[in-house]
Amino acid sequence: MLVQLLIIVINFYQKFLSPYKGFCCAHRFFYHGLSCSEAVKEILLQDGIVSGFSRIRERFQECKNASQILKRNILVNSEDGNGDEDNGDERDSEDSGGGQGVNCQSLQCVAGACPF
């Protein structure tokens, strides 16, 4: 019963809050998969709250890591000028495993609508 209540809360968040917060899930953007809210819904349905807790924590940590990588890439590109030049530096493909090496040339990577 608690799982169903949490699913309702997540659905409310996805429908009424998330579209208006001004940015998309860093994990979704970086890894091209589900948003964290959608992934948490799946984990809750598959494993429940207690069994799924560690997977949910791990997911949020991965999202935090993706966010930090995207922000770092934005700073690197802003220091390089507009980020359009190819100087052979691999910094913009840096990630902590599994990422697609997103090249963020503006704040749209973190702020703004999801590109997909």
For 36-83, write each residue's pLDDT tens digit.
999 999 999 999 999 999 999 999 999 999 999 999 998 888 777 654
- Assigned domain for 18 exists: yes
State which residues form the domain around 90. 2-109
- Is the pTM for the entire model greater than 0.85? no
Report the domain count for the chain.
Answer: 1
The crossing angle, in degrees rounded to 10, of helices 36-79 and 2-12 is 40
Q: Mean pLDDT, to the nearest integer, of 80-92?
A: 45
pLDDT of residue 107: 38
- Assigned domain for 116 exists: no
- Assigned domain for 58 exists: yes
Contact 116, 34 (CB under 8 A): no
- Assigned domain for 99 exists: yes
* Residues 46/48/51/56 CA torsion (nearest 10 deg): 80
